[in-house]
Amino acid sequence: MALQNETHLRFYLHDTLSGPNPTAIQVAQAALTKTTSTLFGDVMVIDDPLTVGPDINSKLVGRAQGLYSSSGKDAVGLLMAMSLVFLDDKYNGSSIVVLGRNDAFSPVREMPVVGGSGVFRLASGYVQLKTYSFNMTTGDAVVEYNLFVAEK
């Protein structure tokens, strides 16, 4: 199949564990999770807002819905499975599916795009992640996403 279109989108994911309206909640943990430095065995479900800028009050363009699990026993690593569901403009109702390992403390991480829906049907590509901010006390994070996708 020939590529018809290549798209680059940049947005910010807000993963909020604290406060009265968290967007990430713990749904499971192993008996040893709290004894490990990596939180090995922790499972979180997310419905994180995606915005055009790093400020939570900037324009909402979508939501990241799915889960992540602390899958590294000796080093921090998250297994992420999520749909990036877009709510804005020509991408409204379309989604991108991302599945892969997030080496959360690396300056730049990359995860594969494994599919999509709507205008992103049969999409392939990757997303690069950079942590914009991380609160060590609350676990709240803002992460810059640079999405590169080829639609077939």
Read off the pLDDT of residues 14-36 as tens digits, 9 standing for 90 and up.
Answer: 999 999 999 999 999 888 888 88
Confidence of residue 1 (pLDDT cuts 50, 70, 90): very low
Give the SS3 label for residue 54: coil
The predicted model scores a pTM of 0.92
Q: By 3-state DSSP, what share of the chain in percent is helix, strand and coil, each rounded to 5?
A: 5, 55, 40
What pLDDT score was predicted for residue 151? 67
Share above pLDDT 70 across residues of the chain, in percent, rounded to a whole number: 96
Q: What is the mean pLDDT of the chain?
A: 93
Q: Picking from 3-12, 14-23, 55-64, 85-94, which range would have the lowest pLDDT averaged per residue? A: 3-12
Spatial separation of the C-alpha atoms in residues 89 and 52, rounded to whole Å: 13
What pLDDT score was predicted for residue 30? 85
Q: What is the mean pLDDT of the segment spanning 92-103?
A: 96
Give the SS3 label for residue 89: helix
